Structure 1
Amino acid sequence: MARRKAMHISNHVQHAVPWRGTRGSVWMAAVALILGASSLAAQEEGGDAGEAEEATAAANTTQGVFSEEQATRGEDVFYNICAECHFEEDFGGPFIQSWAGASVKDLVDEIVATMPEDNPGGMPTEQYLDVVTYMFKINGMPTARTNLPRTTWTRWRSQSTSTPDAVPYTTRDSLSGVRAGIRRCLERADDVDRLAVSAPEVSAWSVQDHLEHLLFSDRNVLGWVLKTLAPPNPETREQFPHEIGLALLARGSIPRGRGPAPDFTLPDGLASADVRAGFEALGALAAGLRTQLAELDACRHTLPHHVLGHFTPAEWLRFLHLHHRHHDAIIQDILKA
């Protein structure tokens, strides 16, 4: 499958590509999407503006306007389709806030018209609605017993009600990012004709070299994570990241340069089929960690990074997420050169 381009939502977003945050936290806007009948809709249906305002005040996403089941379906759609190009953090606070004052219908219509990029409008309407409710959920909006319905979505509108607050970057976000990165590597491994592409002005490594480096790094860290969750958890943490390690995790990006890579992560000239098989195995391993988020957060065991200091499993997942984004950006530049 050809790699899909970044999502372009033009009506209310000044920047065509959703935010790929460069800070150590996902900044979630405390945006209440007020879902109610607009004055225009009320007039069209024989109502008046007063009735519209009352309906608007009564339907607020801070009170719950979608079900857990619907958001779970949306999560499945996200991971099966959207995550080929997007991270969960792409749809955090800045993205949601940028639509404040516009209708939710406008947002859904724009997604239907542009996504998936290789088949815009190609999903059932219910799946688009489900994905939108998943966006609500990852922004901390509460659920209700009923689904966000299809029959009245033309009447919803949104508006900002407060100033954005910051929330910590979660282990769940990191794991989602790692899984998305593995899926992108699988997609690139399928594009056999471009694995050998290189651009010395960008990187000394070819596309496959970068994939192998990610494969070996992920395999080492995720294997350790699985093993370290089994022994008893220490009562206190004894070793910590260096200041540079803390800064990198907080900044949310890895700077480019010729930093030293450990020998066991250096490219080894694998067959393309072995690269793909390796990422398939890693995908299954990472998927299994979704049920162990609490254990990951609580674990105080550490594994040293050769430069950045000692990371816990949760910190390592954060690093792997950033590591994938770092090398995927380099691969994109190699292919563009």
Structure 2
Amino acid sequence: MLEDDLDPVVTGFGWWAEYPMPAEARGWVSHYLSGAISGMASNLTDAAAHLANYQEAVRKEAIWYGYRCRQARGGIPNLRDRNDIEALRDATLSSELKGFFRTVGSVFDTMAATVIWIGALEFNIVKADWGQLCTSDDSETYPRTSGQAMLGLRRALTDQGSRGGVVQDTLLQAVRGAVTAAGPAHWDQWLHAMRNTQVHRSQWTQIFVHADIRNPEAGTHRLLPRQPQLAEGHHLQSAAHLAEIMLTEDAQVTMVGVLDSIVPVVQAVTAACESAWMQRRASPMILPQPYNDRWLPIEVPAFSGYDPDHARKAVADATMMGLHPTHSKRLAALKLPSS
């Protein structure tokens, strides 16, 4: 939908030319928004790949674990001594699980950037994240709920009751409704806490339990924390049983459920964004597109790589670039009218 509005003659989205935004800014912002939309799909694909790789590693690990259990003849199996292939598989289990939650978190962040800009919310698109949309608020007055926690979102909205305000309210309510309907209670809040834990928090201990010691290949379950936003040690100090701190389902069940929840959210949010976009395109001035020069960093460190000469000649000699037609259109719309 949006790609059809990219205009290489006026730069960026053609109908945005009505807004008091420099052509250069209109070009890169349009390009960024298009990239955020395609980012939702690519992150979903990455998450599915991480899940498939994780499931395969779990399958192979279960076979190895069963072998070690039989070697132990009823004793404690040796799970520490591994050859290089076995050690890599153990690392793969951890990295694919972390990769899954990182990429599903990125689905939400790129979705947030899409909603923020299509809804013309007064936020910096370059630093957009899902938390800015405050979808955990269950008030009937959302997105204009009073209180300090909602202050940032309220400030990003245009006047309540105006044509533009109605477009924004309808869009954000559709987003919140899609998330609420897509999974069990608080699934999205748990997901973001789990993502944050994998990215920049102290790591939880990886725990697996036996369901049937006589069938170790099929009788073990890998568990995920019930409240990953809490410090594991503090949680352990007050817990009376393992079920209080860990989910009582295998990690694969949770991961498949998360992916099954995210897909309809993306579909519903995309439909809501398309409706808002068409209303704005028909009457551009009901919601002028926010922009601020300060949203871009003034100084960027000039990193040159570790071996700048490694591909310097190949880069210098390149004369053609092969692109998907959609990417070609995005690049063409970056061209400034004066160039």
TM-score, scaled relative to structure 1: 0.23
Query: Relative contact order: is structure 1 or structure 2 higher (C-alpha 8 Å, sep ≥ 6)?
Result: 2
Bigger-Rg structure (1/2):
2
